[in-house]
Structure 1
């Protein structure tokens, strides 16, 4: 291969230093030609004796933030033989290539802010093509400075020279800036502004103050994580009594107060810089994460964070800067208005945030990575669609009501959007509508099909139907748990014609195709459809949505079903049991539900855990998992609590009977929590075995929010590992409703297989 080639590079290859990388590679290998950006990615015209080495190195040596999906070569003829290699002007318009996620500060830029160059020493907005803001400052495509929130900062001659030099790592880094020409920090407390913002902020934190700190995708509320009084004030002011608080620390703080293993360290240090759940080390105040054995840690991911952590030299709370139930604050004036009653001071800057992005959250388990929240650093990355979806139309899917996220399909890729929160909140809904417009514009997306959840009361469902009617498009309704199954299939690259799979789908609630509320399901299906083969015996959700907030309601329903009403009277005698039982018997605001999430709540309430009320979603289940996992570290029970499963309906009544006897015999709450986990895992695994034995399933899928319980996931995997069927789990998308839109999108694409 020595003739001229036209080389098309597809993937995440713009805004990551790809053209200067190619330029440097060409000079090293004596290749002549040009490289440029266009709407499809990077285009190269090249010739030279070492052209084969050049093509191979494009993938093998790509820049840190690049992701090369394909390198396509075809013969090419130059009009005039080139004598050198140059970076040519970009061509075309549109959005066929991807936008790069925001990236944590790279080692070179970290060295710059700690170095001797006065332009960047201590400068909180230092970045290069290998790091820094991308998606959070982007206003439009193509990605250049004029279409970012850096447009108002004119480069000084030194920055302009770096920007124009292909040999410099800041070549065409759109946010490039220095202390002479770029954004600046500000610090303000009750005494007014302070000239040295970092020093003033550090003093305030060490004195016990609560700060509002402007990050990449929004404000955080920050305090000293070693100061129990400051943590207590933050919780009281934010009305967040017990939900775990995220922490930020340097390696020295993390290594002291946590026990990261090799994989956890790699996740923390990745360009995405997510919050990673880590086992506790040397103690910090219990109020950071009451009754939990893990803390959520992240490394500083901007120069501002590095400078602040260096100044305080201790771990900091970095929790979302918002009022309870509202989205994260992103504007300076908004922060003063909304966070002024919580924060004692504000550390901000004059670079605007184009879009709100929470911190991503993940957990590393022996079974692999687990994405709990997909946001900053992970979006807007895309997933390749599985085989068979090559002709899929452009689809937009709107997800569910909880953990809102939307998904776009275009050109064989699926873009699962960022976490948008609970969409019954007005401001969160406004953020969802903005994201819908935003993604469509940024990715030049024109939907041909719209997909929504089956539930007509969900706001995204109503929005999808309204948009479909306005545009004259088909709107596909997708059953909630079928979408969970399909999202796991798509993430794992399961082909369109790969055959049916057995899916254990365990979550809170979702409207079933029979009009009842599902949540503990065994499905047999594929992208096109499904059958419901087994389910938890339904129980009334007494009080409707109140049942998800007050676990005693679920316990009452299950104990009455099990013939244990006397025990319910003993446990919950201070509750309005007569009214609740009447509502259940008459079906008054008490819909029947097979929810596994509500079963967790019922068990927790019987064990005295969060019986009266949960202060955040999943609190009872998380505490059960913590207790059960701790018990199983030192005990190996031969059996779990039993379930009755001779029919399609899985009845937990034996489990409650056995649990009541165990408690009466003096067994610990942790013992009962462990046996419940084991019993639940085993009963669903038995149902899977029946489908395998009858040759009905080609694989097993585990999905739904309950599978973010690492212990339950491990126990189910141990039970379904029968050596024959592949077991598919979530590793790069959330198992909870944050991944729902991906499943909706591929199901809609399967129903409309030919591009219009």
Structure 2
């Protein structure tokens, strides 16, 4: 029952290493001197713990202890058993794990989960759940052999699985969601706790929403004392913070949503030879990439660069990677957006290193190309929330013809107004009102709009007419938001992508090919997708009483049809047959499946992400290969 048992093939690695080579004196285990028995195991080539750097036992290794939220030690003979009983009693326990603290509670206890939500200021975003084994998991979720294999793999990521209706997981764990993020125990502490407790446990990052995960004991007590009732500490220091990785399975293969523990920083083979360089990534879901020769080292998920704590975590991790991988950048690649903090970090180097600005959606497409080792040019379909366009507008529904060095914009969704800019993202009903007015000429009488204060509706309409703080966007993500609000699914959000997620969850899955009307026209040499007929049809069908689930599915089918239609036009013009699907919208499994099917139906090859996320967590890899190609040609 020792919670730090390990062997040569398991145990902590990247979270405890300070420098290379990976030897005990250069890890956070340096302060634990092995006892004679552990030393004998460590030095015996025939022993399973031969040169296992974290090798330890209760005599010579790290220890665990339990305190209340004020730091007062809990007197008990069996720490694990006592912590398990607290969890069974509905308490919230902060558990120091592999890459940081996790906040745990009984996943079948609605009151405990609701309390955790309130304390963590995380009203709607789903929590992950840890269960003892696959047999136990079958009580709550449906999964196939491919998903079971990934769950049971040494990487043990969180896997998004379809929930069984009526299961005992509290609905507060994943509100308005048909999927559950599930994982199996991946450290001895987890195995002992969950075996003792005998219940599924919510396991969510030990932080307030948008902060980095807490890693040090003192830091955790300071930051989490208002969140947890008790703390399960240990004294093996964490040198590098790591969240859990998250994946979903598409066509039998894992597709990363968050690349972190156990996946990063596994090197990605680059399709080009690179000088030593740093790619700083994006603002949201931030990760950076160091590139050298034919390898890219994409960092773990850092988080949104919206607060000083996350920025410090970003900078410290850049320094760690440079030291561990012996990469001293000779150039820095960054996003074109001038206000991204990742861009500002890059600009600090402008006096001594060349900087390469990479357009956001070109980076998305290049990342998917590198992910699949594709040479030459592709048709890149990049659907996401936003990215800075060279024309100064907000892009996000893009059809590019791209190689690694350059790209050309061949098509996009028509540009529509975002009244209030960022405010329209947080309140999708603003988008729905503005889109209806722009496309139909007036705001029809619809339930979602009639539920809003008339004064606010009038302000939104005037704001759009006078273009006051109303940027234009071609974003596919904003299109999902607007339709979600229009159908009455989601009017305001508390986490990124919520309106689109809830639209997907509300959709039927009949496999229907029915789509709304739209048209594509060539304007200034670029194909533009006009969605006015679609909005007119949606309004008409709402009035006709068509169920929301059917309208939501038809909308997904329409977006997939748009993707295939424009890809076909570009193929006819260029002869290119390879299509890559990238951008955060393709985390939507219904959209992804329909788009793959639609593009294959017209005889083109489809490529999706397999090693890095399709969201902004993969952008740095794309920046790196674009910059490497630009530098090579110059």
TM-score tier, shorter chain, comes to over 0.9
CA contact (8 A) 1:536 1:649 kept: yes
Look at both structures and tell me which one has the larger radius of gyration over its CA atoms.
1
- Show the counterpart of 2:425: 548
CA positional deviation for 1:754: 7.1
- 1:567 corresponds, among 429, 435, 444, to 444
Runs of 5+ in structure 2 lacking a partner?
Answer: none
CA positional deviation for 1:660: 1.2
- Show the counterpart of 2:514: 639
Question: In the aligned structure 2, how far is the partner of 1:601 from the partner of 1:176?
Answer: 51
Question: In the aligned structure 1, how far is the partner of 2:442 from the partner of 2:53?
Answer: 66
1:253 and 2:139 matched: no
CA contact (8 A) 1:194 1:200 kept: no
- Show the counterpart of 1:713: 592
CA positional deviation for 1:366: 2.7
Cα deviation code 1:332-353 (max 9, x no counterpart): 1111111111111001101110
1:606 and 2:491 matched: no
1:577 and 2:457 matched: yes
1:416 and 2:416 matched: no
CA positional deviation for 1:579: 2.0
Q: How does 1:197-236 map to 2 (within 5 A)?
A: 197-236=79-118
RCO higher in structure (CA 8 A, sep ≥6): 2
Alpha carbons of 1:724 and 1:649: their partners in 2 closer, same or farther (altered >3 Å)? closer
CA positional deviation for 1:725: 3.5
- Show the counterpart of 2:232: 347
Question: In the aligned structure 1, how far is the partner of 2:561 from the partner of 2:114?
Answer: 41
Question: In the aligned structure 1, how far is the partner of 2:21 from the partner of 2:468?
Answer: 55
1:506 and 2:351 matched: no
Runs of 5+ in structure 1 lacking a partner?
Answer: 1-121
- Show the counterpart of 1:538: 415
Runs of 4+ in 1 over 3 A off after TM superposition: 635-638, 722-725
CA positional deviation for 1:655: 1.1
Question: In the aligned structure 2, how far is the partner of 1:194 from the partner of 1:440?
Answer: 44
Q: How does 1:95-114 map to 2 (within 5 A)?
A: none
Question: In the aligned structure 2, how far is the partner of 1:510 from the partner of 1:602?
Answer: 18
Question: In the aligned structure 2, how far is the partner of 1:672 from the partner of 1:232?
Answer: 32
- 2:194 corresponds, among 290, 305, 309, to 309
Q: Secondary structure at the match of 1:566?
A: coil
CA contact (8 A) 1:564 1:657 kept: no
CA contact (8 A) 2:146 2:253 kept: no
- 1:374 corresponds, among 232, 254, 259, to 259
Question: In the aligned structure 2, how far is the partner of 1:559 from the partner of 1:493?
Answer: 42
- Show the counterpart of 2:537: 658
- 1:595 corresponds, among 458, 475, 478, to 475
Q: Secondary structure at the match of 1:534?
A: strand
CA contact (8 A) 1:555 1:568 kept: no
Cα deviation code 1:578-630 (max 9, x no counterpart): 2222222332221111111111000000111221x1011111111111222xx
- Show the counterpart of 2:466: 586
Worse-matched range after superposition: 325-334 or 484-493:
325-334
CA positional deviation for 1:193: 2.1
CA positional deviation for 1:238: 1.1
Worse-matched range after superposition: 181-190 or 394-403:
181-190
- Show the counterpart of 1:58: none
Structure 1 length normalisation: TM-score? 0.80
1:426 and 2:308 matched: yes
- 1:269 corresponds, among 148, 152, 158, to 152
Q: How does 1:468-507 map to 2 (within 5 A)?
A: 468-469=350-351, 472-495=352-375, 498=376, 500-507=377-384
Worse-matched range after superposition: 422-431 or 190-199:
190-199
Cα deviation code 1:699-722 (max 9, x no counterpart): 111100001111111111111114
CA contact (8 A) 2:34 2:60 kept: yes
Task: Compute the RMSD of aligned alpha carbons.
Answer: 1.5
Question: In the aligned structure 2, how far is the partner of 1:642 from the partner of 1:680?
Answer: 11
CA contact (8 A) 1:186 1:194 kept: no
Cα deviation code 1:22-48 (max 9, x no counterpart): xxxxxxxxxxxxxxxxxxxxxxxxxxx
Cα deviation code 1:657-702 (max 9, x no counterpart): 1111111111111111000000111012111111222343241111
Q: Secondary structure at the match of 1:359?
A: coil
Question: In the aligned structure 2, how far is the partner of 1:663 from the partner of 1:148?
Answer: 61
CA positional deviation for 1:732: 1.3
CA contact (8 A) 2:564 2:602 kept: no
Give the paired residue count.
621
Q: Secondary structure at the match of 2:381?
A: strand
Q: Secondary structure at the match of 1:372?
A: strand
Worse-matched range after superposition: 677-686 or 248-257:
248-257
Alpha carbons of 1:367 and 1:688: their partners in 2 closer, same or farther (altered >3 Å)? farther
Cα deviation code 1:265-295 (max 9, x no counterpart): 1111111110001111334211111111110
Structure 2 length normalisation: TM-score? 0.96
